[in-house]
Structure 1
């Protein structure tokens, strides 16, 4: 059965978590936003996925940098300072007594607010930004970390930044969703996506790496989100003396790779065992296993 990097074991505690909606902690079953909200109506907003590690949000500064830069790029006022937004995250964690828990993942979403009518022009917005924080008891499955996932290269490309800049972590994810649909219908777990020039770009929900002759390669980054786990893996490679390159490479390079893996906030470093029917490894290879350990060490240092 196909699975993805975001597969997790259901936890009954999630039925009663409190969702932070504009500063109010609301039972999950009652949490809602207006049908006139910009995010629901038009996908107009930015978001972050956050991992709680040792009682702290891992790499919080980097996540807030990306959130506020994205909001600035689309001329959206979040309405809270970084300190105020951090306090709201803390309120959500502590309001759910999650501070000492393991396996907590949060989705922070900010939209432009409520519109007076269904129309794309931001001048019809009549409220402050909508800010929602969804905390969940949600850890990646051990089998995902150990045995990996399968990828399928889809026809859906990562777009030119003049069309929709892939650097924006926006609520408008239809490009990635259509890629995911094609991959899952082909029997894979996630989609491998190419850039407009035919080079490997990224996956639909994670960043992609290959290992060739002791070197770690990832895309140039020109057509993908500025991934925080991606940049963390590049960092630990450099610290450990592992040659790492951000460069253009093709599917031929991918098919001939020794190992492959994907990265993301939810599952960290996940091995890729098969791409387009070509077997690479059985489970995680030695480089992936090493990088998983180095990444965990970096998280520990960040949250110390």
Structure 2
């Protein structure tokens, strides 16, 4: 995939510059240690205009990730939102994936930085997995222990774990992995949260061992509107294997159904599942076809 070309513009430290001309220091902690915070944000072409979905929530989480891990964050969120809309205009993007990244100054020691930089880029984005339901496997890799890191911070270095799990799954012929936590309970996918349907209710792993996804929160809000009960709890693999259906959700994947977990096939038709209902509701929300935002 080509993320940029000779005309692509990015935002770098209060300037719009050509991506091909942008430079960074090779002695930064972010490059050497993965000490950086980032976000994944979606923009959608709606009947009103191009809209960035929940921009404020994403930039607030970016700031929180920095605050939790000692990375200076000295930017105004309203200004960053405005700069991001301008970035989309400069690149003529309507449906896009947006990547803000806060990275650290040159420092080869294991100390917190005194200064940081910000970059925002964007590229055209379609459907992450397409329209298919996914073949998923329980990964041999676990989510990091929350006592070893701030699990709620979206940090670059954390995603080595995600790359290893996802790569292992694909090498085995699956579409994606599902990781357990350190106690053997269901946690999340490498880049998505999971919801599980059983007897007309939805279950999702409780916070504490997972990234508190913004899409996850949106799905829970939609469930309140649609009168769907959601239970947050520790979930065993046996419960998952005996469920009626399941789906992943996240900024990149949106809402995508799961067809199989390991050798277990979910028999009910996806279109009849709660997940399919929420998939349609979520799409209507981000495209502003239904004004859920009055409530959410």
Deviation, structure 1 residue 52: 0.7
Q: Given the alignment of the two structures, is residue 170 of structure 1 paired with residue 155 of structure 2, yes or no?
A: yes
Deviation, structure 1 residue 14: 5.6
Question: Of the two structures, which has the highest relative contact order with CA contacts closer than 8 Å and spacing of 6 or more?
Answer: 1
Residue of structure 1 in register with 2:37 after alignment? 46
Aligned pair partner of 1:212 in 180, 198, 201: 198
Q: Given the alignment of the two structures, is residue 247 of structure 1 paired with residue 233 of structure 2, yes or no?
A: yes
Where in structure 2 are the equivalents of 1:225-236 lying within 5 Å? 225-236=211-222
Q: Given the alignment of the two structures, is residue 30 of structure 1 paired with residue 21 of structure 2, yes or no?
A: yes
Aligned equivalents of 1:112, 1:276: Cα separation in 2: 40
Q: Look up the SS of the partner of 1:191 in the other structure.
A: strand
Pair 1:152–1:51, CA change in 2 (3 A):
same
- Offset from partner CA, 1:43-102 (integer Å, 9 cap, x none): 11211101112312101121122111111111221221112222321231222233xx2x
Determine if contact 2:5/2:20 at 8 Å carries over to the other structure: no
Aligned pair partner of 1:129 in 112, 116, 123: 116
Residue of structure 2 in register with 1:59 after alignment? 54
Instruction: Compute the TM-score of the two structures, normalised by the length of structure 1.
Output: 0.86
List gaps (5 residues or longer) in structure 1.
1-9
Aligned equivalents of 1:26, 1:270: Cα separation in 2: 35
List gaps (5 residues or longer) in structure 2.
none
Q: Given the alignment of the two structures, is residue 113 of structure 1 paired with residue 110 of structure 2, yes or no?
A: no
Determine if contact 1:219/1:249 at 8 Å carries over to the other structure: yes
Greater mean deviation of Cα atoms: 158-167 or 245-254:
158-167
Aligned equivalents of 2:218, 2:9: Cα separation in 1: 31
Residue of structure 1 in register with 2:125 after alignment? 138
Question: Over aligned residues, Cα RMSD in angstroms?
Answer: 2.2
Instruction: Compute the TM-score of the two structures, normalised by the length of structure 2.
Output: 0.88
Residue of structure 2 in register with 1:6 after alignment? none
Residue of structure 1 in register with 2:82 after alignment? 87
- Report the count of equivalent residues: 285
Aligned equivalents of 2:130, 2:281: Cα separation in 1: 14
Aligned equivalents of 1:302, 1:163: Cα separation in 2: 38
- Offset from partner CA, 1:207-247 (integer Å, 9 cap, x none): 11111111111101220111000111111111101111111
Moved over 4 A (4+): 10-15
Residue of structure 1 in register with 2:137 after alignment? 152
Residue of structure 1 in register with 2:180 after alignment? 194
